[in-house]
Amino acid sequence: MPLLPPTLPTAFLSSLRATPNLPHHIWYVLTGVTLCSLNRADKIPGVLKHALETGPGPGPGENGKVSEGVVAARVSAEEQKAMARRMREALIKGVAIGGLPKAINALLALKQGTPSHLQDEPLSYSPTSRPVDIFDVPSSTVLHRGQSFFDRIYGKVSKRVMGQMDRCGTEDLGLTARLMYGYVLSNTSVLSAVESSYILMAGLIPQDVNPQLKGHLKGAINNGATVEEVRAVRDVVIRICEAEGMKKLGADDANGWGWRGDVATL
């Protein structure tokens, strides 16, 4: 396989930003989480840089073809800080899907490429208030919030899904899921419930785990997405994966890197 470029091309990033039906403010966090899951932390700073320069994506009345210069002029310092926080929070939530080591590498790489005035320093203001969850809020309250979030995603099959984890051979799997949903995923201070669903999709698609992806495609609908938005998110993530060398594997590709079948969809 030829060496991949150190950054995603600007034209490619602009095309992601202009994807029809893609929700506002989501293209760059999807890209960051997908790259994290693909273990390409080195490319994430360039994604945020492009987003800070061109804006979060077409909003009401825009068609994705607005002049880059005009868009950039509208990105205030306050909005840039919000965008940087959204990217960091997306990578944190991606831990639930891609694991902690990749998130560590992604966040450290992102810090190197983020201007200091857009960073949140330790022991200062926390946009997520997770320190409060850990130190001041009763654990039962946080776990109940996480269970409610889990139930909303999985709907009528939520008890069955959690029960499968509890009875997998170690009930600690269910415990791990409850902790992750309580303290990480159900926190919607920076990313909303539906945006969190998109982040989960972005972490799952590169890993070729259709059984879990199917649940989260429906979960995004349960969290308020439209079918068109879910399909647009799926399309963006697949395009990023393909740009990084993934492909659908054939019957003879025993040791290839890619998808063993069609990526689940609605």
Cβ–Cβ contacts within 10 Å for residue 90, how many? 27
Indicate the pLDDT class of residue 61, thresholds 50, 70 and 90: very low
What pLDDT is recorded for position 251? 76
Is 44 within 8 Å of 32 (Cβ atoms)? yes
Indicate the pLDDT class of residue 4, thresholds 50, 70 and 90: low
Instruction: Read off the pLDDT of residues 156-214 as tens digits, 9 standing for 90 and up.
Output: 999 999 999 999 999 999 999 999 999 999 999 999 999 999 999 999 999 999 999 99
Indicate the pLDDT class of residue 59, thresholds 50, 70 and 90: low
Question: Distance between CA atoms of 182 and 180, rounded to whole angstroms?
Answer: 5
Residue whose C-alpha is closest to residue 48's, from 114, 102, 103, 92: 114
Is 119 within 8 Å of 111 (Cβ atoms)? yes
CA atoms within 13 A on the CB side of 254: 0
3-state secondary structure of 233: helix
Instruction: Read off the pLDDT of residues 135-159 as tens digits, 9 standing for 90 and up.
Output: 999 999 999 999 999 999 999 999 9
Q: Is the pLDDT of residue 68 over 80?
A: no
Q: Is the pLDDT of residue 67 over 60?
A: no
Give the helix/strand (H/E) hosting 248: strand 247-248
